[in-house]
Chains A and B, each alone.
Chain A
């Protein structure tokens, strides 16, 4: 019985080795990582961040009051909370559901 198991194991090992050799022969590039495209030269100027430019960059990146007007609607952040509140207030639920939380990154 033991001899049979060893023989089966050796046969399986030989088959696996043959398969690896065959695959490598078919696609020698398969083992190499893909070559990424080269990084292009920048067209836009590289920004400078220092004490003199901080306020300007900050004001540009952070949304204005006009851009945050959508938060006038008092959005809750979890459907379960809305169910409880709607039940208590006898109101229907307005659900805005997106891939990525709409109050975070969508």
Chain B
């Protein structure tokens, strides 16, 4: 995630990227599955920086430049903007020297409609939220990028779940947040991914969860809603607390208060504003979430707000825990 700041925020890199069609995607699926876009990726990833590598993992993550027909141009995996600039220059030079017939085939190599992805389940008529997580200020600042880290995700709710969040249009009317949706929000999104990927909780790990929506005001078609609640999550078991480390007995959890506000357009039957904040103490570490030196308990916040309708459709990172088909 440090690459977002060190590479892609660099103005020279941004300028160089204009000569390309930029795309971000999840590599595990691309290198594992048999969908057409995965096969396309597998056609060039072994020519790149990690070709043939199997230890400590077989990941093919990184930055690649290829032609629309899948011909490899250049690649690297670095947090250094200058190295990425050099890679992009090398790729552009190879592209410019390439005969037009080699740049692309007569037709596009892929039909997006033929690719099955979880993104096809995006609830465009429901509620699509952005999720941000970050450590809250601490007296002792962690040095380096770990002390500055934040992460992001997406949370989805289907239309029936969204409508079940809305209390009666009377000031003071209350309604419990739909139980299954709240449990999923806690299991999948109230997680400590501030420094990196982690695992979802099971329903049995959510020890307590309560979230109530209350109508605060009505103005024409606009219903103002307040959210208030609390969640306590506790998991024990055996897993690694650092990358590729040995499994050991662990505990993991988050004890958080929830508070938020939203505006619901009763005529359009959709939310026009949605803010929910979870603040509390997290503890524990998982294999790739970078907490091996910071088990806590320590303060963390998770924020949810509306995603713009025209933003790229990207699935919740642990979408398999949704159980949607």
A: residues with CB less than 8 A from B are: 33-37, 39-51, 53-54, 57-58, 60-63, 66-67, 69-70, 72-106
Q: How far is the CB of B291 from chain A (nearest CB, A)?
A: 13
CA separation between A55 and B259, bound complex, in Å? 11
Q: Are A94 and B23 in contact (CB under 8 A)?
A: yes
- In whole angstroms, how far apart are the Cα atoms of A67 and B25 in the complex? 20
Interface size class of B (residues with CB under 8 A): 35 or more
List B residues at the A interface (Cβ < 8 Å): 1, 3-5, 7-9, 14, 17, 19-28, 30, 36-37, 40-41, 59-68, 70, 73, 88, 91-92, 95, 100, 103-104, 107-112, 115, 117, 119, 132-134, 136-140, 150-154, 193, 196-197, 236-238, 249-251, 257-259, 275, 277, 279-281, 283, 295-299, 301-303, 305, 312-317
- With a cutoff of 8 Å between Cβ atoms, the chain A residues found around residue B88 in the complex are 94
Nearest A residue to B295 via CB reads A40
Question: CB distance B5 to A94 under 8 Å?
Answer: no
**Docked-complex contact B8 and A60, CB < 8 angstroms:** no
Which single residue of chain A is at the shortest CB-CB distance from B234?
A: A39
Option from A44, A46, A47, A76 in Cβ contact (under 8 Å) with B21: A76
- Of B23, B152, B237, B305, the most chain A CB neighbours within 10 A belong to B23
- Complex Cα gap A103–B313 (Å): 9
From B27, B66, B136, contact of A57 by CB (8 A): B136
B20 & A77 in contact (Cβ 8 Å cutoff)? no
The answer to whether A34 touches B134, judged by C-beta atoms less than 8 angstroms apart, is no
Expressed in whole angstroms, the minimum distance between the Cβ of B174 and any Cβ of chain A is 17
Bound Cα distance A48, B41 (Å): 47
